[in-house]
A and B are shown apart, each in its own frame.
Chain A
Amino acid sequence: KQEVTQIPAALSVPEGENLVLNCSFTDSAIYNLQWFRQDPGKGLTSLLLIQSSQREQTSGRLNASLDKSSGRSTLYIAASQPGDSATYLCAAQGGSEKLVFGKGTKLTVNP
């Protein structure tokens, strides 16, 4: 059974700092891995999707990497802004097409 863990559970940084969010998964037989953003009381916004054959994906100030062999993914946020404050979720998708989510990292970027 796939389990996804995100560390840290919460992170507070000053504006402008670069940061890394971590995600680990127990079953390396994944189809893809996705990173989402969730604002309080809102749904999910997809940020990046990395297929199992890929090593990384980039979108603007965001870069996500995937290391299947070690069961890890990281989300790198460059030059953080207060608007980046949200909960970031990673989810692993296996062959059954089910997404297994981590509990998220709550990010606060202080002005």
Chain B
Amino acid sequence: GAVVSQHPSWVICKSGTSVKIECRSLDFQATTMFWYRQFPKQSLMLMATSNEGSKATYEQGVEKDKFLINHASLTLSTLTVTSAHPEDSSFYICSAQGLAGGGEQFFGPGTRLTVL
């Protein structure tokens, strides 16, 4: 149980284009999903917290207009990187927390984004 998937697993795009990454909880309902970014040899940094049906809460320094997050259902959250630039190239990982809340987060396998 508690499986989280991400799609795509990797993506290469041209500078200036937008990329959408999906995060799905496959066997449980997630009221809260988290989006993290990990640069090479660095740790995971939380970008934003999204709750189903409401606006995401972004961490300081993360541009909400650039990283659009939608959490339209209890099993799906999407992250759209708009007008991507090479500096946005990173490993993006989502996690999902079950309805019980306050507990364990289950992580997706990550999406490698490369912007040329």
A contact residues vs B (CB 8 Å cutoff): 31-32, 34, 36, 41-44, 46, 49, 89, 91, 93, 97-104
Contacts and interface: CB of A to CB of B under 8 A. Distances in A.
A101 B44 contact: yes
Interface string B1-33: 000001000000000000000000000000010
B107 interface: yes
B102 A89 contact: no
Contacts, number: 47
- What is the interface residue range for chain B against chain A? 20 to 34
Nearest to A45: B107
A34 B104 CA distance: 9
A49 B104 contact: yes
B102 A97 contact: yes
A46 B106 contact: yes
Chain A contact residues: over half helix, strand or loop, or mixed?
A: strand
Given A93-B105, A100-B46, 5 more contacts: A32-B103, A42-B110, A43-B107, A43-B110, A99-B95
Interface of B: 6, 32, 34, 42-46, 49, 91, 93, 95, 97, 101-110, 112
A42 B108 CA distance: 10
Given A43-B107, A98-B49, A104-B43, A31 B102 contact: yes
Chain B contact residues: over half helix, strand or loop, or mixed?
A: strand
A104 B106 CA distance: 18
A97 B110 contact: no
A41 B102 contact: no
Contact of A99 (B105, B108, B109): B105
B37 to A, nearest CB: 11
A91 B104 CA distance: 11
Contacts of A41: 91, 112
